[in-house]
C-alpha cells in the first residue's frame, strides 16, 4: 500500500498523439455518444410508456438500454474531454472506479443478453408454455441474477487492481483504466494476477458466448418445423440479437481470452464494445422491429400532437 501512494494519478496515452486525428476522434465520439444517449433514451421511454414493457423481450431490452447508457458513460465523457482539452490525467481513485464500473456494467450487460437469448429460446422452442415460463416474477429473477453476476465479476477485478503496487511509470497505453493495461505499469510480478484476470474475465466472456451460440443453434434447428412466415418473424428478431452479440463479444474475446498482455490494437477493438455496439443497439433493435417502431410512433407522435393541441387551445 505504501508503493501505491507513490502514484496519485495516471496518464492515459489515448488513441493517438496526432492533433488532427484527435480532433477527428473528438467530433466522431461526441456524435456517437450523443446518438447513443438519444437512441437508448428513446427506446427506454418508448418501452416504459407503452404496453411493450409487460412483454419479457422488451422488459429485458429496457434494462439493456439503461446499461448501455451507464456502461458508455463510465468511459466516453472522459475520452471526449481528453481529446478536447488535451489533459489525459486521471486520479488513482477515479481510475479504480473506472475499472469497477466498466466491468460491472459490461458484465451485467452480458448477462442481460444471455437472458434475452433464453427468452427467444423459450418463445420459439416452447411457445405454448412461454407465458408460464417467462412470467414477470421469473423475468425479475433473471434481471436480479444479471446484476448480482455483474457484481460478482467486477468486485474481484477491483480488488486485484487495488492490490497492485504502482511506483512509476504512471503512463497507461489506453484511453481508459482497465486491469490489463494496469498490470503493465505495476511494479511487481503480475503473472499470477494475469492468470486470475484470464480466469475471471476470459471465462465469463467465453462461457456466455458458448451458451448464446448454443441457444441460437437450437433455435435455428427448431425453426425448420415452423411455417415460412413464422421463420421470417423469428429470424428477424433473432438476427437483431445475434448482431448485438457479435459486435459486443468478438472484440471482448480478442482482448480477454488470451495470455495477459496488451497490444496497440486493443484500443481499437475496445472501441467496439465501449462505444460502437452500445450506439448501434437502438438502431439494430428498431429498424427491423415493427412492434418497437409502432410503440415509438404512439409515444412520441401522440405526445407531440397532444402538446400541440394544448398550446393551440
Which of 18-32, 119-133, 241-255 has the least mean pLDDT?
241-255
Q: Residues 119-127: what's their mean pLDDT? A: 85
pTM: 0.86
| Complete edge-to-edge strand list for the sheet that includes strand 89-91 | 89-91, 9-12, 171-172
Query: Taking 80 as the threshold, does the pLDDT of residue 234 lie above it?
Result: no
C-alpha 216/C-alpha 219 separation (Å) is: 5
Q: Which of residues 98 and 169 earns the better pLDDT score?
A: 98
**pLDDT for 3:** 43
**pLDDT for 1:** 41
Given a contact cutoff of 8 angstroms between Cβ atoms, the answer to whether 53 and 301 are in contact is no
Q: Which of residues 240 and 308 earns the better pLDDT score?
A: 240
Q: Which of residues 50 and 313 earns the better pLDDT score?
A: 50
**pLDDT for 2:** 44
For residue 103, name the pLDDT band (cuts at 50, 70, 90).
very high
Q: Which of residues 56 and 305 earns the better pLDDT score?
A: 56
For residue 95, name the pLDDT band (cuts at 50, 70, 90).
very high
- Percent of the chain scoring above 90 in pLDDT: 25
Which of 107-111, 121-125, 157-161, 219-223 has the least mean pLDDT?
219-223
**pLDDT for 70:** 93
Query: Taking 60 as the threshold, does the pLDDT of residue 297 lie above it?
Result: yes
Q: Residues 140-155: what's their mean pLDDT? A: 94
C-alpha 200/C-alpha 157 separation (Å) is: 8
Q: Which of residues 18 and 307 earns the better pLDDT score?
A: 18
Strand-pair partners of 172:
12
Query: Taking 80 as the threshold, does the pLDDT of residue 5 lie above it?
Result: no
pLDDT in tens, 50-62: 888 888 988 999 9
Amino acid at each position: 500500500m505504501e508503493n501505491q501512494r507513490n502514484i496519485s494519478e495516471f496518464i492515459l496515452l489515448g488513441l493517438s498523439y496526432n492533433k488532427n486525428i484527435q480532433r477527428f476522434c473528438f467530433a466522431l465520439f461526441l456524435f456517437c455518444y450523443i446518438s447513443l444517449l438519444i437512441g437508448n433514451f428513446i427506446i427506454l421511454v418508448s418501452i416504459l410508456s407503452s404496453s411493450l414493457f409487460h412483454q419479457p423481450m422488451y422488459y429485458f431490452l429496457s434494462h439493456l438500454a439503461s446499461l448501455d447508457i451507464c456502461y458508455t458513460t463510465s468511459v466516453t465523457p472522459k475520452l471526449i474531454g481528453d481529446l478536447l482539452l488535451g489533459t489525459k490525467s486521471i486520479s488513482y481513485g477515479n481510475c479504480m472506479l473506472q475499472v469497477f464500473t466498466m466491468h460491472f456494467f459490461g458484465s451485467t450487460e452480458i448477462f442481460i443478453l444471455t437472458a434475452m437469448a433464453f427468452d427467444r429460446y423459450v418463445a420459439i422452442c416452447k411457445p405454448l408454455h412461454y407465458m408460464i415460463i417467462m412470467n414477470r416474477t421469473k423475468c425479475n429473477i433473471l434481471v436480479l441474477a444479471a446484476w448480482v453476476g455483474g457484481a460478482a465479476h467486477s468486485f474481484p477485478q477491483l480488488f486485484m487492481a487495488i492490490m497492485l503496487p504502482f511506483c512509476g511509470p504512471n503512463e497507461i497505453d489506453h484511453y481508459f483504466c482497465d486491469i490489463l493495461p494496469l498490470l503493465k505499469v505495476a511494479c511487481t510480478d503480475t503473472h499470477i494476477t494475469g492468470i486470475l484476470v484470464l480466469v475471471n474475465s476470459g471465462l465469463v466472456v467465453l462461457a456466455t458466448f458458448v451458451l448464446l451460440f448454443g441457444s441460437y443453434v437450437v433455435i435455428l434447428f427448431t425453426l425448420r418445423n415452423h411455417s415460412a412466415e413464422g421463420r421470417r418473424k423469428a429470424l428477424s428478431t433473432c438476427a437483431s440479437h445475434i448482431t448485438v452479440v457479435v459486435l459486443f463479444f468478438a472484440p471482448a474475446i480478442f482482448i480477454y481470452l488470451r495470455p495477459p498482455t496488451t497490444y496497440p490494437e486493443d484500443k481499437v477493438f475496445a472501441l467496439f464494445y465501449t462505444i460502437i455496439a452500445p450506439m448501434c443497439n437502438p438502431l439494430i433493435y428498431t429498424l427491423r422491429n415493427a412492434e418497437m417502431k409502432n410503440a415509438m410512433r404512439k409515444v412520441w407522435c401522440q405526445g407531440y400532437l397532444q402538446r400541440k393541441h394544448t398550446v393551440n387551445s
